[in-house]
Amino acid sequence: MRALSGILAAGVLAALAGCGEKPATKTEAGGAAKPAASAPSPLTAAGWPKRKPGLWTQTVEIKDRDFSPSFRFCIDAATDAKLGLDSQGMDTRCAKGQMTRTADGGWTVTSACDMGPAGKAQSTVRVSGDFNSRYLMEIDSVTTGATQAAMNGQHRMTITAEWSGACPADWAAGDVEMPGGRRMNLLTKAVSGGG
């Protein structure tokens, strides 16, 4: 994923939010973002928080769905730069959105994505936390025009990530462990383990 990376990687996998599972996008070409009424200052890509290197455990909750999958992922400074909270901006299907710092110290990102047959999604992502021990992503999106009717409508997802310590010795930065134990590296796409 760069879509999965949003959600698992950052929230790695920067996201499932409707934008093909990408929660947010970068600011416009000049780095400027129009501040929202509740935001004291705009946030440029350089202002995104960096997560503490190591192993993170991320739990995804989707409104009105009776499951909460958990993922573990390993990052270092280099992979966080490539797969960080702003990595979803690499998706060319998404128009570059507005990123703003909120009065409570969090961030809000808006995006618009054209996913072809999967429809068009308008998303708002709120990110908060200290990024050393925990962070939270709340993703609200509305999808229209999807060929599968169930994909259309309003969707809400919450991603909670907690730092779990150092990465296991046999893991590489970029590795994500899915439910069931299968592991994939988001940078190399190599798959191992699980069933």
Tally of domains within the chain: 1
**Average pLDDT of the residues of the chain:** 74
Matching residue, tokens 């708002």: 124
pLDDT given for residue 102 in this prediction = 85
pTM above 0.85, yes or no: no
Structural domain containing residue 40: 2-192
pLDDT-wise least confident of 7-16, 59-68, 111-120: 7-16
59-66 long-range contacts, Cβ below 8 Å, gap at least 24?
59/159, 59/160, 59/161, 60/7, 60/16, 60/157, 60/158, 60/159, 61/157, 61/158, 61/159, 61/160, 62/16, 62/155, 62/156, 62/157, 63/155, 63/156, 63/157
Q: In this predicted model, what pLDDT tens digit does every residue of 152-185 receive, in sequence order? A: 999 999 999 999 999 999 999 999 998 888 999 9
Two tokens, residue 14: 């920067």
Q: In this predicted model, what pLDDT tens digit does every residue of 1-57 receive, in sequence order? A: 333 333 333 333 333 333 333 333 333 344 443 333 333 333 344 566 789 999 999
Q: In this predicted model, what pLDDT tens digit does every residue of 117-154 receive, in sequence order? A: 999 999 999 999 988 999 999 999 999 999 999 889 99
